[in-house]
Amino acid sequence: MSSGKSAAGTVVCLVDDPTAAEAIADAEESRLRVVTVADEAALQERLEEAAAGCLVIDTEALTADPDQVLAEARAVAPEGPVVWVTASPESLDNGALGPETTIVERSAATPEWSFLVEKVRAALREGSADRGAGKYRRLVESARDGLYILDANAEVTYLNESFAEMLGYDREELLGSHATRTMADGELERGQRLVQKLIESDSRESEVIDMEMETKARETITVSVNFVVLTDESGTYEGLMGVVRDITERKERERELERYETIVQTVSEPIYMLDADERFVRVNDGMLEKLGYDRETLLGSHVSVVAGGDGIRRQEALIRGLKRGDSDHASTEVQLETADGTRRQYDINIAAIRDDGELKATVVTAHDVTELREHQRQLSVLDRVLRHNVRNKMSIILGHANDIAAEAPPAITEQADAIREAATELLELSDSAREFESVFADDARRPTTVDVVETVENVVHELRTEHPSAEIDSALPGSALARGHETFELALDELFENAIVHSDREEPTVEVTVVAGEESVEIRVADDGPGLNDTDRRALLRGAETPLEHTQGLGLWLVRWAVEVADGTIDIEENDPRGTVVIIRLPTANNG
């Protein structure tokens, strides 16, 4: 009885007659290891120490019910055959029976154990085969992929739980059904052609195809199926096995990518992708058409082959910022050179593509603004000419009006004062327009990060110097970073100045409060003046044409635009007991 025998070759016997164990050992000579235990406790102890290939249990040797003994043994050793030896087979209830159990009826006379020996041999053979098959069954049943088997008539003879769940059925609903029950329209013919191809193939190799199946809810899913033809020993077709994986989401992503690719290639404006070293990896047809290059020339080349000067330096600086993780988007203006050497002005937007936080590539979309910039330059020249002439002519008008007012009789002096007031207002209007011109400039529309607290402090400091009679109070946090632009300080100055200059009090009061929230920074400017009239309210809230009526309206209208280009908002409330509260909200820097 060598201890080197495997667990599968060990027979543990709990028998009343020791000759039973001896017969098993003698019949198999040294091929089996036979271990005899005295009672149920010893049986449990032995099973806890090592597994057994087979259990032989004599009911005459038990003090407990057989079903209890078997349950306790299975708790320790769930698998393996059990051979019951009993003089009364009918005494064994269902709890003692089940898979891998065998009954040997014990004779009342002197026992002859050859029948027991044969049962043990058979149990060991069948148990080994069942355990091997059981492992494969558990593997198939636990697989995440679906698996089914069709017979020669294309009827389902087996399917695992994953396949049933994939299609929304209970297994029993599909067993015995025809394959067409779960196939989408048109897939039967494809399947038949594939089966015929596999049957005619000498290698009998499997083949994977993508196809559509229909769920119980009549929904279509896309699956990848690995088909394997099943034949008998003579090569006669017996059926088909399919291993199924649901690829609906993957296919939808692929279709979505195809749609994006179509859009990108259809867009007439340049779109291109750069790798981490700023070399072209993708270019759309619009890029080739607008700049005149062929795709082979650009792919793999550095972006500097089409861009240079200050523009490319700005672009490289922005990409360095993307690499640091400052943001995921950036924009600037560059000159791109066509294949024939012509330079054109482009407004570009850069988006980061990351993998685990690391910048792997950038996607750039470019909009040709050459004609727009030229038009703006022409308007700027015309504006300077007109403004220069208006200022000169208004200065002459003011001079003559002053002379008339100094020498004319009272009635004429009153008219001269009206001329002087209108000319002065027109000059102020011109100055305000020039001062706020940058609000409409392209660069001013590019949001940046501003410290609202620092900006307010600068404006308040200047206003206290310019208006010593005004009381300007502030309640500010340590810092409040918001999305804004370079002219934001000028806009706040205009708003505060308006509250002081147009107050009806000798010592006006202005209170400014800044509150930094998670999504926005709020600036509240409260005064104790007479309040805003309807024209000025419209200027702040709607930006109608009425602000052009006077310089105050124009200033407030431009305040509104300065906030709007930063994606901010403006609200107006009545102050208590009198005055106005203007509330500006700007997105926080990390929300921009």
Give per-residue pLDDT as tens, 363-411.
Answer: 999 999 999 888 878 877 777 777 777 778 888 888 888 888 888 888 8
The answer to whether residue 339 scores a pLDDT higher than 70 is yes
Query: What pLDDT does 308 receive?
Result: 75
Our separate counts of H helices and E strands in the chain read: 17, 22
Burial string for 62-83 (b: 16+ CB within 10 Å, else e) reads beeebeebbeebbeebeebbbb
Helix (H) or strand (E) holding 256: helix 248-266
- Whether 104 contacts 84, CB under 8 Å: yes
Token couple for 553: 């309206």
Query: What pLDDT does 527 receive?
Result: 93
- Whether 367 contacts 347, CB under 8 Å: yes
Query: What pLDDT does 489 receive?
Result: 86
| Residue labelled with tokens 């002197």 | 110
Residue 321 and residue 449: Cα distance in Å, rounded? 14
Three-class DSSP labels, 388-406: HHHHHHHHHHHHHHHHHHH
Neighbours of 257 (CB within 10 A): 10
Q: Which residue has the higher pLDDT, 186 or 222?
A: 222
Query: What pLDDT does 140 receive?
Result: 65
Q: Which residue has the higher pLDDT, 379 or 160?
A: 160
Q: How confident is the model at residue 452 (pLDDT cuts 50, 70, 90)?
A: very high
- Whether 392 contacts 385, CB under 8 Å: no
Residue 472: HSE in the Cβ half-sphere, 13 Å Cα cutoff? 24
The backbone region for 298, taken as left when phi is positive above 0, alpha when psi lies in -120 to 50, beta otherwise, is alpha
- Whether 462 contacts 408, CB under 8 Å: no
Query: What pLDDT does 438 receive?
Result: 54
- Whether 125 contacts 31, CB under 8 Å: no
Burial string for 28-59 (b: 16+ CB within 10 Å, else e) reads beeebbbbbbeebeebbebbeeebbbbbbbbb
Q: What is the DSSP letter of 106?
A: P
Q: Which residue has the higher pLDDT, 28 or 394?
A: 394
Average pLDDT over residues 4-27: 76
393 contacts: CB under 8 Å, gap ≥ 6: none
Average pLDDT over residues 535-554: 60
End-to-end CA distance of the chain: 81
Q: How confident is the model at residue 4 (pLDDT cuts 50, 70, 90)?
A: very low
| Residue labelled with tokens 């500006």 | 584
Q: Which residue has the higher pLDDT, 476 or 53?
A: 476
- Whether 485 contacts 444, CB under 8 Å: yes
Helix (H) or strand (E) holding 46: helix 40-49
When mean pLDDT is compared over 11-25, 271-285, 305-319, 481-495, the highest value belongs to 271-285
Q: What are phi and psi of 443, to 5 degrees?
A: -65, -35
Average pLDDT over residues 464-474: 93
Query: What pLDDT does 3 receive?
Result: 40
The answer to whether residue 496 scores a pLDDT higher than 80 is yes
Give per-residue pLDDT as tens, 107-158.
Answer: 766 567 877 888 888 877 776 555 545 555 665 666 788 889 999 899 999 8
Query: What pLDDT does 346 receive?
Result: 92
Which among 498, 564, 506, 569 is positioned nearest to 536, based on CA atoms? 498
Give per-residue pLDDT as tens, 206-244.
Answer: 788 899 999 999 999 999 998 888 888 787 888 888 899
Query: What pLDDT does 550 receive?
Result: 46
Average pLDDT over residues 35-44: 90
Q: How confident is the model at residue 544 (pLDDT cuts 50, 70, 90)?
A: very low
Which among 367, 328, 323 is positioned nearest to 344, based on CA atoms? 367
Give per-residue pLDDT as tens, 90-102.
Answer: 878 776 776 678 8
- Whether 148 contacts 166, CB under 8 Å: no
Q: How confident is the model at residue 546 (pLDDT cuts 50, 70, 90)?
A: very low
Average pLDDT over residues 164-193: 90
Beta-sheet pairing, 220-231 with 237-246: antiparallel
- Whether 452 contacts 477, CB under 8 Å: no
Q: What are phi and psi of 54, to 5 degrees?
A: -160, 145
Neighbours of 322 (CB within 10 A): 19
Strand partners, 336: 307, 344
Q: What is the DSSP string of 445-496?
A: GS-EEEEHHHHHHHHHHHHHHH-TTSEEEEE--S--EEEE-TTHHHHHHHHH
Q: Exposed, middle or buried: residue 218 (CB in 10 Å: 0-12, 13-18, 19+)?
A: exposed
- Which is it for the CA torsion 562, 568, 570, 576, positive or negative? negative
Percent of the chain at pLDDT > 90 equals 29
Average pLDDT over residues 467-478: 93
